[in-house]
Amino acid sequence: MTRSPKLNERQFLNSPYGGKLIDLRVYGNERQELIETSVKLPSIQLSMRSQCDLEMLATGAFSPLDSFMNQSDYLSVLNSMRLSDGIVFPIPITLPIGDEVQAEPGETVALRNSKFELLALMEIEEIYEWDLRNEAVSICGSEDTSHPLTAEMNSWGKRYISGPIKVVDLPRHHDFPELRLTPQETRHRLALMGNEKVVAFQTRNPMHRAHEELTKRSARETGGTLLIQPVVGMTKPGDVDHYTRVRCYKALVENYYDKDSTMISLIPLAMRMAGPRCALWHAIIRRNYGASHFIVGRDHASPGVSSTGNPFYSQYAAQELLQEMSEDIGVKLCASAELVFLPDEDRFEESKHVKQGQKVFFLSGTQVRNDYLERGKLLPEWFTRAEVAKILSNVYPARKDQGFCVWFTGLSGAGKSTIADVLIEKLAEYGRQITVLDGDVVRTHLSKGLGFSKTDRDTNIRRIGFVASEIVRHRGTVVAAAISPYQATRDEVRAMIGEDKFILVFVDTPIEVCESRDTKGLYAKARRKEITGFTGIDDPYQNPRDADLVVDTEVSSPSENAEKIIKLLADRGFIEHPAFLFVDSAAISAGAEAN
C-alpha cells in the first residue's frame, strides 16, 4: 500500500538511533553572531578525518552523539562497544589536538578546515590524553601499523577534546549535489517512496554484476526499498576515487535498477577499516538514514592482511557481530555470500550451491586490477556492465602509465642518495619524468626550521610523503631518499601513496661502514655527544619489516643496485622489461681473457 507523502517519516521509517535525529547546525541571527565572534577566538584546524566526522555529527548521521566523545564515553566504547549510558556504539568519535595547540576547559574555540574557513564553534568541556596502543588494539584488533588507521593514528595529537558544538557551515562539496543528502533529506525521500522497509548497501568500490545481484536479491527478499550509499569521505588508500565510482553507480541505477524502489545517497564518512566493529557502526549510521536492514558481505571494512601476511579479521566476523547485536541496534542483517557466475545458465549463484563439476566464472579484486585494468583491457561483460567497464577503462591507466614512488630508507651514509642518482638516470631512459625528494634537500626548503626530535623527523617524512602522494596520484614518478627511521611513519607514508605504488628499498649498510663514509663528521660528533638524537647512535633505526627490496652496498655497486630496482619495477609492470639487464663486468673480462 502506498503511504501518504505527508506521513511523518519518523513514524513510518525505522526511527533514528536513540530516538531522535541530532542537528548541530545554527541559522539566521545566531549563525551570524557566531561568525562575528569567531574572529576573536583561537582556532583549531581540522584534519580531513575530523571534518568528515564533524559533518556526520552535525547532520545526525552519528545520532545519538551530539559532540566528539568525552573520556567516559571514549573509554566505555573501547572496552565494551557501548557509550557510558549503555547504548551500543562501537567506534570512538574523537577530536585530537597536537601539542602546539593551547587549549583549556571552559574556552571556546573555532573549528576550521584546511583552508581556514570557519565550520563550527566548540566550548571545550574536557581535555584528556589517550593511549595509542590501547585504542589500536581495541578498535583495529592490533597495533600493527600496516593497518592504515593504526598508521594514521601515529600522527594524531596525543590529546582529545570534547564539548558542545554549534555548526556554522558544513564542509563544502560541489560534486554531485543532487546526491549529497543529509539523513533528514534521505529519510524524507525514502518516505515518499512508500516502503517502511529499507535495505542499505554501503560501498567504497565500483559495483559489478555480483554486487548488483546481491543488492537486488536483498531488496527482493526483504520487500524493501534499496538505499545505495557510496562512501565519499575517506576510504582505504588506493581505492578508486569517488568521482569515478559515483559515475559508475549512477550508470547502474539509471539502466539496471527499478528507479521507483532504488535510491542513491552519498555519505561523507571517514572509514576506519575496523572490520566487525565497523559493520555494527555502519548499520547504526544507516538506521539514522532510515534503513531497517543492512547488507554485510565477507570481509566487510577489512584492510586486508597484516604485516605477517595474515588477515586482520576472519571472513565472516563482521556478519557474526552484526547478527549478534542486531536487536540492540534495531537493524537487521542481510548477509551476502560469495557469488559466482554460471556461464551455461547466464546467472549468478552462491558458491556454496554450485554443483560439483559445474562451470563457474569468478574474478578476484587482484585479477581485476592485474589482468584487466592495469593491462588496459575491458572487463568481461559477465563480470560488469558495459557502462561501468567503459568508465573504469577511461580513468584507470595501464600499470606502465601509472605513477609510483621508490622510497630509499637506511642510516645516514648508507648510500641512499648515491643509488638514487643512478636510478634517476636509468629511469629517464624509459621516458619517465622524475621528481627527486632527497631528505637533506627537503629539509633545506619544505621542512626548513624543523629539528631532529622524533616529532620533527616524523613531520619531515610526512611532508615528503604527502608531496610524493600528490605526484604519484597524477601519474608521476618519485624517487625519495630519507633516513625515515621509524616503521610506523613509513607505514603511514605507504598508506598515503598507495600500497601498490610504494616501493620501499632498504639500503642495509652496517653502521661502521656508514661511519667510515661520514665526510661531515656527524657520527663522530654524536659519539662525543656534541649532537643528540642521531639515528643509529642514541636514537634507534627500525629495520623495515616490509621492504620490497633490500640492497647491500658492500657487495653490490650503486649501478648494480639500481639495476635490481629497475628489474623490480619491470616485474611489477611500471616500466617495460629492459632488453639488456646489468651484466657483471668481471664476468665479461674473464670471458674475454679465456678467448
Give the residue numbers annotated as catalytic, written as ranges.
484
Q: What is the b/e burial string over 29-40, where b = at least 16 CB atoms within 10 angstroms of the residue's CB?
A: eeeeebeeebee
The phi, psi pair for 109, rounded to 5°, reads -125, 155
Nearest C-alpha neighbor of 330 from the set 299, 272, 273, 290: 290
Nearest C-alpha neighbor of 269 from the set 52, 524, 485, 495: 52
Is it true that the peptide bond before 171 is cis, omega within 30 degrees of 0?
A: no
The answer to whether residues 73 and 93 touch, using CB atoms and an 8 Å cutoff, is no
Whole-Å CA distances, 97 to 127, 201, 384, 414, 535? 9, 34, 44, 36, 28
Say how far apart CA 228 and CA 390 lie, in whole Å: 21
Nearest C-alpha neighbor of 13 from the set 293, 334, 327, 292: 292
Burial of 90 (0-12, 13-18, 19+ CB in 10 A): buried
Cell numbers placing 578: 629492459
Helices (H) and strands (E) in the chain, counts: 21, 19
Query: How far is the first Cα of the chain from the last one, in angstroms, to the nearest whole number?
Result: 94
- Give, as one character, the DSSP assignment of residue 484: -
Do β-strands 126-129 and 159-162 pair in parallel, antiparallel, or remain unpaired?
A: antiparallel
SS3 307: coil
